[in-house]
């Protein structure tokens, strides 16, 4: 990367960045175009941000692509968006392999049409040996769905005797989430000027640094991503402790 305008410490990058990719529809409508045109251009930003995250050695990138609530949009948009997402993932498999990127999907895949689900599962299988960036697509995902599913599984395990109720703690609970094998994000970015979480990783975001930008997703490019990381690196993460404690810990490590 030439003329690096950002002050980024490569030793202190977030391990996991999560993104709510929002604003595709408004981006298109502002130009008098169909909302699907916005989603199509949003795919270009996905490519660019995935490439940038891989280049910088970020280990986990979660992209919120379709929420459980998005199934309630007009059928035309749901069909167009689902088709676009699944087609893109399928087409990108060779590039993912070339860049050592492993694809993961979190969400209720049972709600997807059968062929879309099988396309996704084969893309996941085809990249499972890659050891670079973990790209986690949140598709048909909602956090309340995920938490309720976890509770159901826990109840079943308690009932069958494989788990004792008194042994349930946050560490055990997290193994029942769809994100069990990923660390919690250190940074969550939401584009398009909305200040809400929209049912995304409610449990996992407990101590995540939140970054909101007015830039809509189709306009969100590498420089915006790096700007978010730079901003994140200026923050002091205290986890309930005092600023003084954090400074002392830093000096002694």
Q: Give the catalytic positions in this structure.
A: 22, 70
Q: Which residue has the tokens 């996991």?
A: 16
Name the binder of 209 from ligand IPE, Mg ion, none, CB < 5-8 A by kind.
none
Instruction: Choose the binding region for Mg ion from 5-13, 20-28, 138-146, 176-184 (rule: CB under 5 A).
Output: 20-28
Q: What is the CA radius of gyration of the chain?
A: 19
Alpha-carbon gap, residue 198 to 35, rounded angstroms: 20
Name the binder of 204 from Mg ion, ligand IPE, none, CB < 5-8 A by kind.
none
> Pick from 165, 159, 204: which is nearest to 64 by CA?
204
Q: Which residue has the tokens 């309930």?
A: 240
Name the binder of 140 from ligand IPE, Mg ion, none, CB < 5-8 A by kind.
none
Shortest Å distance, C-beta 22 to Mg ion: 4
Q: Which is nearer to ligand IPE, 176 or 204 (CB)?
A: 204
**Does 22 sit near Mg ion (CB under 5 A)?**
yes
| DSSP string across 147-190 | HHHHHHHHHHHHHHTSS-GGG--HHHHHTTSTTTTSPPPSEEEE
* Total chain residues near Mg ion (CB under 5 A): 1
Q: Which is nearer to ligand IPE, 22 or 186 (CB)?
A: 22
Instruction: Choose the binding region for Mg ion from 22-30, 91-99, 132-140, 157-165 (rule: CB under 5 A).
Output: 22-30
Q: Which is nearer to ligand IPE, 24 or 62 (CB)?
A: 24
List for the chain the helix, strand, coil content (%; round to 5). 50, 15, 35
Shortest Å distance, C-beta 25 to ligand IPE: 3
Shortest Å distance, C-beta 220 to ligand IPE: 11
Q: State which of positions 46-105 bind Mg ion (CB under 5 A).
A: none
Residues forming the site for ligand IPE (CB under 6 A): 20-26, 64-67, 70, 81, 192, 194, 196, 198, 217
Q: Which is nearer to ligand IPE, 26 or 153 (CB)?
A: 26
Q: Which residues contact 36 (CB under 8 A, 6 or more apart)?
A: 28, 77, 80, 81, 84
Q: Which is nearer to Mg ion, 22 or 209 (CB)?
A: 22
| DSSP string across 193-239 | T----TTSSTTTTTTPEEEE-SS-GGG--HHHHHHHHHHHHTS---T
Q: Which residues contact 115 (CB under 8 A, 6 or more apart)?
A: none
Residue ranges binding Mg ion (CB under 5 A): 22
């Amino acid at each position: 990367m030439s003329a690096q305008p950002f002050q980024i410490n490569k030793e202190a990058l977030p391990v996991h960045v999560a993104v709510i990719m929002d604003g595709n529809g408004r981006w298109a409508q502002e130009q008098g175009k169909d909302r699907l045109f916005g989603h199509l251009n949003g795919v270009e930003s996905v490519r660019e941000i995935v490439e940038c995250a891989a280049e910088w050695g970020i280990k986990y990138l979660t992209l919120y692509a379709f929420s459980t609530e998005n199934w309630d949009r007009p059928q035309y948009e749901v069909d167009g968006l689902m088709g676009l997402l699944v087609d893109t993932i399928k087409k990108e498999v060779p590039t993912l392999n070339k860049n050592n990127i492993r694809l993961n999907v979190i969400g209720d895949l049972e709600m997807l049409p059968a062929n879309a689900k099988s396309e996704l599962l084969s893309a996941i299988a085809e990249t499972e040996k890659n050891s670079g960036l973990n790209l986690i697509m949140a598709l048909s995902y909602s956090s309340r769905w995920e938490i309720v599913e976890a509770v159901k599984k826990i109840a079943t395990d308690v009932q069958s005797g494989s788990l004792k109720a008194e042994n349930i703690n946050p560490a055990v609970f997290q193994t029942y989430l769809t994100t069990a094998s990923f660390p919690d994000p250190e940074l969550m970015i939401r584009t398009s000027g909305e200040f809400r979480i929209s049912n995304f990783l409610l449990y996992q975001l407990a101590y995540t640094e939140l970054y909101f930008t007015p830039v809509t997703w189709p306009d969100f490019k590498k420089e915006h991503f790096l700007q978010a990381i730079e901003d994140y690196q200026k923050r002091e993460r205290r986890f309930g402790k005092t600023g003084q404690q954090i400074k002392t810990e830093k000096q002694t490590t």
